[in-house]
Amino acid sequence: MMAACVTVVEYKLWTERRRKLSNNQSRRRARRLRSRFAQAALLLVGYYLVPVHEATSSLNQFVRAALALVVFVLLVVWFTREVVRQTSRSTAEVNLDLLFLLVVGGLIFFAVADLAVARTAPSEFVSLETKTDALYFAVATLSTVGFGDVHAQGQIARGLVIVQMVFNVVVLTRAAQTLLASRAGRRSTDQDK
Q: What does the pLDDT look like over 77-119, one tens digit per residue?
A: 776 676 666 666 544 445 677 777 778 888 998 999 999 899 8
Whether 134 contacts 118, CB under 8 Å: yes
Confidence of residue 59 (pLDDT cuts 50, 70, 90): confident
- Higher pLDDT residue, 94 or 136? 136
Q: What are phi and psi of 47, to 5 degrees?
A: -60, -45
pLDDT given for residue 35 in this prediction: 80
Task: Please state the rounded mean pLDDT for residues 32-45.
Answer: 82
Domains and CATH numbers, the chain: 2-192 (1.10.287.70)
pLDDT given for residue 54 in this prediction: 64
Whole-angstrom distance, CA of residue 83 vs CA of residue 159: 26
Q: What does the pLDDT look like over 178-188, one tens digit per residue?
A: 777 777 766 66
Whole-angstrom distance, CA of residue 81 vs CA of residue 182: 18
Whole-angstrom distance, CA of residue 81 vs CA of residue 11: 41
HEC readout, the chain: CHHHHHHHHHHHHHHHHHHHHHHHHHHHHHHHHHHHHHHHHHHHHHHHHCCCCCCCCHHHHHHHHHHHHHHHHHHHHHHHHHHHHHHCCCCCCCCHHHHHHHHHHHHHHHHHHHHHHHHHCCCCEECCCCHHHHHHHHHHHHCCCCCCCCEECCHHHHHHHHHHHHHHHHHHHHHHHHHHHHHHHHHHHHHHC
Position 125 pLDDT exceeds 80:
yes
Whole-angstrom distance, CA of residue 35 vs CA of residue 15: 30
